[in-house]
Amino acid sequence: MLRTAQENNYNLGISGLLVYGNNRFLQVIEGIKGPLESLYEKINKDERHSDLHLISEEEIEAPAFDLWRMLFINLDTIGRGRGGGTTLGEFHPEKMSPEAAFDFLSSIGNFLKSESEHFVDAQKKVAFCDDDPSALKLMELFLRDQPFEFRTYLSATELLEDSEDFRPELIISDIDMPRMNGLELLKEVRKKDFYIPFIFATSRTLDDRIEGALSKGADGYMLKPYARNELLTGIRQGILSSALMRNSAIHW
């Protein structure tokens, strides 16, 4: 659903942010009034959504999330990474005042823009895990001209054994793998470091394991087959998510 939203938003010139935490979502969408009103009406009628609350609707001078067609942030992962220094049980966006929502979203938006300006200054470490060699070759092809240091692994055990040496800043993993699958890999990674963003790759558009994985510490997912622009956006978002976790200036 997120992938479809990002593609549609790109075509409509809509940007925004989708925040998940405490089994709730907080979303901001920005763009031209007509397409925004149509999108909100569509969301409101979608039976997959319930208890929809409109916090605020107003004109803005400039978009706060114009770099993103719909950036996804998992607050549950951030909360666990901060070692209990949060109050995620009190995250109730439906009770937020417009002022509180604005302050919360502005703190995230300002931080992300600041990080984006310095994104290419340092080489980022990305790990890919998939038991399909052709999928790993495609990753290498897509990333060979990008500012990333990346390693590929044919099994979860290979990645875990090399993680102390490589110390990845982002992990992208297939779900269905022999011996240790992606969900088991996620569990092991979270035992060692809550700060590492973890994104699943799946060929199933309605994989019922994805929702459970998000609640257990995954930061998002991508659908196979990969599109290059989508892959690069996912990597960028994942690394920025890691920076967001480590930044104590973001409060909710």
Q: Are 125 and 235 within one domain?
A: yes
Q: Domain for residue 22, yes or no? A: yes
pLDDT at 116: 57
* Domain-located, residue 251: no
Q: Are residues 235 and 182 in the same domain?
A: yes
User: The domain containing residue 107 runs over which residues?
Assistant: 2-116
Check residue 102 and give its pLDDT: 83
* Residue 139: band (very low, low, confident or very high) from pLDDT cuts 50, 70, 90: confident
CATH number, residue 76: 3.30.70.100
pLDDT of residue 153: 97
Residue 250 pLDDT > 80, yes or no?
no
Residue 125 and residue 97 in one domain: no
Q: Of 81, 101, 116, which one is at a domain's C-terminal end?
A: 116
Q: Are residues 136 and 154 in the same domain?
A: yes
| 192 — pLDDT class (breaks 50, 70, 90) | confident
Entry pTM:
0.59
Same structural domain, 90 and 138: no
pLDDT tens sequence across 35-53: 888 888 888 888 877 888 8
**Domain match, 103 and 134 both:** no
Is 110 part of any domain? Answer: yes
User: For residue 120, what pLDDT is reported?
Assistant: 46
Is 252 within the bounds of a domain? no
> Quick check: 79 pLDDT over 80?
no
pLDDT over 70 percentage in the chain:
71
Residue 55 lies in a domain: yes
CATH number of the domain that residue 208 is part of: 3.40.50.2300
Residue 80 is assigned to a structural domain of this protein: yes
pLDDT over 70 at 108, yes or no? yes
More confident site: 59 or 116: 59
Best-predicted range by mean pLDDT (88-92, 127-131, 137-141) = 127-131
Has residue 1 got a pLDDT over 60? Answer: no
Q: Tell me whether residue 109 is in a domain.
A: yes
Instruction: Assess whether 163 and 146 both reside in one domain.
Output: yes
Q: Are residues 112 and 124 in the same domain?
A: no
Q: What value does the mean pLDDT take over residues 89-98?
A: 79
Instruction: Count the alpha carbons within 13 Å of 112 in the hemisphere toward its beta carbon.
Output: 22
Is the pLDDT reported for residue 215 higher than 90? no
- Number of structural domains in the chain: 2
Q: Answer whether residue 175 is part of any domain.
A: yes
* Residues 97 and 189 both lie in one domain: no
61 or 246, higher pLDDT: 61
The pLDDT of residue 191: 84
Contact 59, 43 (CB under 8 A): no
Same domain, residue pair 106 and 173: no
Q: Which pLDDT value is given to residue 152?
A: 95
106 & 130 share domain: no
- Is there a single domain that holds both residue 124 and residue 91? no
